Amino acid sequence: MAKILIVEDEKLLNEAYELVLKRGGFDVSVAFNGEEALDIVSQTKPDLILLDLRMPKMDGVAFLQKLKPADKYPDMKIIVFSNYDEQREIDEAFKYGATRYILKAWNSPSELIKVVKETLESDSKDS
Helix (H), strand (E) at residue 112: helix 109-121
pLDDT, block means (10 residues), the chain with 127 residues: 95 92 96 95 96 90 94 94 81 94 77 90 62
Determine the pLDDT at residue 69.
92
Q: What is d(CA 25, CA 42) in angstroms, rounded to the nearest whole number?
A: 22
Question: What is the pTM (predicted TM-score) of this model?
Answer: 0.89
Determine the pLDDT at residue 127.
42
Question: What are the residue ranges spanned by the domains of the chain?
Answer: 3-121
Determine the pLDDT at residue 122.
86
For the domain made up of 3-121, the CATH class stated in words is: alpha beta
Q: What is d(CA 74, CA 8) in angstroms, rounded to the nearest whole number?
A: 22
- Cβ neighbours for 94, distance < 8 A, ≥ 6 positions apart: 101, 125, 127
